[in-house]
Structures are given as C-alpha cells and as structure tokens.
Chains A and B, each alone.
Chain A
Amino acid sequence: MSPAPYRVELTQTAQAVLDGLGPEETAEVTGRLVALTLQPFPGSGSRVVRLRTSPPSPTPRFYLPTHMHGILFSVEGDLVTILVIDERPVLE
C-alpha cells in the first residue's frame, strides 16, 4: 500500500473512542481510514457520504457508515480531520 497523500488528525473524541477499542478493531478502523484517504474526494461509488448542512458549513463534512461504526470527518487540503467515531445505533 502506498503512503496516503493525506495527513490524519484525530479529535479528542475520536481518539477516546479508538482508545476504547481492541487492537483488531483499532486496526480495522484505522485501515479503513487509510484506504479512505487514498481515494479521491468526494468518493463516487463508495459509501462515503458528503453531508449537506443547513446552514451550509464552510468545511465539508463526510460520513462513512460502516457495519460497526459511523466515522465523521472533514477534509481541508491534505488534512483529514476525524471528528468523531460513533458506534452505529443498535436497535435490537
């Protein structure tokens, strides 16, 4: 895998969530993010969603719904900021 052309910065919330995961889960999440940063934005054909906001936000926000997590992040230049990593709601 070639190096990601983006720098990744975690917010305190995202870091706290990552700290609470086991090694395999952390590897899975960070692996997904690395793969994510290798894709052009916005990710046509992927499940990366560019969130539309009202009122419009000056910084585009993206959301990656996965089986276990929803990852909210923003991209400014080459900086990917992971805003929060949420567990998906469990409804049953």
Chain B
Amino acid sequence: MGQETVFYFDILGFRQKALGRAQDAVDALTDLATLLGTPAIAHLMGPWGGRYALSDSVFLTHESPEMAVRQAATLVFNLVNMSLTQDEPLLVRGALVQGEVRHLKGIFLKSSEPANLVGQAAVDAVALEEGSGLKGPRILLSEELARSLPPSLVAWLLRPTSAPGVWEVLWPLPVEPKGVVDDAMEIKNLCDRALALLGTRGGHPTYGAHYRELLLLTVRCAARIARFRREEALQLPPMSPFFTRAGVLAACEATSGISDEYVTTLMRLVERCDIGPDIATARGSG
C-alpha cells in the first residue's frame, strides 16, 4: 500500500445514454477509449500509474498530486473538446483525492495485471464526486489536497466551491497561464458552445443543471484569464471577448427554466470577463 493521487470520474447522464439501443453510450465510451487508449495521445498526456474502468466509471492513479491535477485537467479538456460539436457533448465529473491505495488483480484471476483498486483514497474519491451535491462537469478535490499544491498552480487553475472543504479544477484553462496564447481559440470555442447549450439544454428539468454549470465554469475561466491579464500582463492573441453581457443576457432571456438567482450570479461573473478594449477591438486586424 502506498500514497497516490486517485482521479475518479464518470460520464454525466450516462444512464440516459445507456437506454434503448444505447448508441449514445457506445459513442461516449468510444471517445473515452480513443483518448485513453491511443498510444500517441496517451504518451503526450504522460503516464498514469494505474488505469481501471468499468462501464463509464474510470479510476486513474498518479504518484504526484501536482501532475495528477495537471493531467486530469488536460484529459477532461481534450475529452470534452473531442465531442464539442455534437448535440450533447461528452461531459464528465470527477474527483481527485490523495491517500492510500492498493492495486489488486482481477477477481477472476485471468491476468497478473492489476485490475482492481482499493483503499481509502479510492473510496474518498467516489464519495467526493457523488456526495458534494455540486452539479455539472467538474473536477473536485479536497481543500487539504488543494493547499498542498504549489501556490502558483492553485492561483491559476483552482478555486474553492460553495461546498465546504471542496475545491475544483478550472479544467477549461491550460495548466499554465502562458498556454492561453496558444489555446485561446479553443477556450473561446468552448465558451461559445457552453452559451449555445444553455439555450438548447439549460432549461431541462433533469439534466439542465449540468449545462448551466458548464456555462458558469467557462465564465469563471474567462474571468480568471481576465484577472491574470490585468494583474500579470497575461498575453492573448487578437480575438473577440470570451463573453459579452448582451450575448449572455440574450441567451438567458430566450431560455425557460432558468432562475433569476442563476442569471444574477452569471451576469455578475460576466462583468469580470473584460479582457480589455485593445484586444476586443483588434479582431480582424491580425
């Protein structure tokens, strides 16, 4: 038994995808298998020490908590980005926990390869993912783990949530601020898609909360970029704003099933997304 960081995640709405002929579930698992199994992609993302899956539940382990956070954010961004143009993009929610785990063989003893993960960290990761009460595509982690990470990583990539003792990874952001220069258009694509999904899915009584939270997450990321631009002179390519007040308000006003409280929170965050008039007006000049 040793100390490792466990990343547990599953696919949001998988139960609905698995109904009927379950084609959506097959497509979702195929995307997941592609990202986790294509050697060239897996190599680019760096190694996870242990990898286990049953249906849509996936456990990955890493010896380094910092690398686990970085790899988890990268993996989830790529996974969502791969399906971004679909009617219902693949969204996942997971949790990172540091602690004791043991890697065991499968109970059918058909291989010497580890096939089971047990230990406090595995239990806690599932409990955190399922028990926080937080909706939406998130990567959650405990406050204790968050505070053990380098302050620069925390300041850029993490935020405390409304649930006591629970933080989250702002996975739409690149793992380092300087990566925004190259990734800005992909982040903008995700922001645009999240806003569009609010209109088509955000008011749904069962799964609308996931899409409302996706939009909040992307707005928070845009606000984080704007803050680093103001305080750290973060470089951005010429581009239009991630969000405009008018655009977000119009989307909210055209969608039923969205509470006034949500709109108030959303608009307050949008106010913080201003990346500067010099950038916003530079579209088309570069």
Contacts and interface: CB of A to CB of B under 8 A. Distances in A.
A54 B71 contact: yes
Contact of A91 (B26, B84, B179): B26
Nearest to A86: B38
A50 B184 CA distance: 11
A70 B44 CA distance: 15
Interface stretch (B27-35, B110-118, B123-131): B27-35
Nearest to A51: B78
Contact of B179 (A47, A51, A56): A56
Interface residues of A, number: 27
Q: Is the interface of A mostly helix, strand, loop or mixed?
A: loop
Contacts of B78: 49, 51-52, 63
Contacts of A44: 185, 189
Interface string A40-53: 00101111011111
Contacts of A46: 85
A60 interface: yes
A61 to B, nearest CB: 6
Interface string B181-202: 0110110010000000000000
A65 B38 contact: no
A84 interface: yes
Nearest to A83: B40
Given A44-B189, A65-B34, A72-B38, A54 B26 contact: no
A54 B82 contact: no
Contacts of A53: 44-45, 74
A77 interface: no
A89 B26 contact: no
Q: Is the interface of B mostly helix, strand, loop or mixed?
A: helix
B77 interface: yes
A56 B41 contact: no
B65 interface: no
A72 B182 CA distance: 18
Contacts of B67: 54
Nearest to B85: A47
B37 interface: yes
Nearest to B44: A53
B74 A52 contact: yes
Contact of A63 (B26, B74, B82, B84): B82
A57 interface: yes
A66 to B, nearest CB: 11
A55 interface: yes
16 contacts: A42-B185, A44-B185, A46-B85, A52-B81, A52-B179, A52-B183, A53-B74, A54-B74, A54-B175, A55-B46, A56-B175, A63-B41, A84-B38, A86-B34, A88-B30, A89-B30
Interface of B: 26, 29-31, 33-34, 37-41, 44-46, 67, 70-71, 73-74, 77-78, 81-82, 84-85, 174-176, 179, 182-183, 185-186, 189
Given A49-B82, A50-B183, A61-B44, 10 more contacts: A46-B85, A49-B84, A52-B78, A52-B186, A60-B182, A70-B34, A72-B38, A83-B40, A91-B30, A92-B26
Interface of A: 42, 44-47, 49-57, 60-61, 63, 65, 70, 72, 83-84, 86, 88-89, 91-92
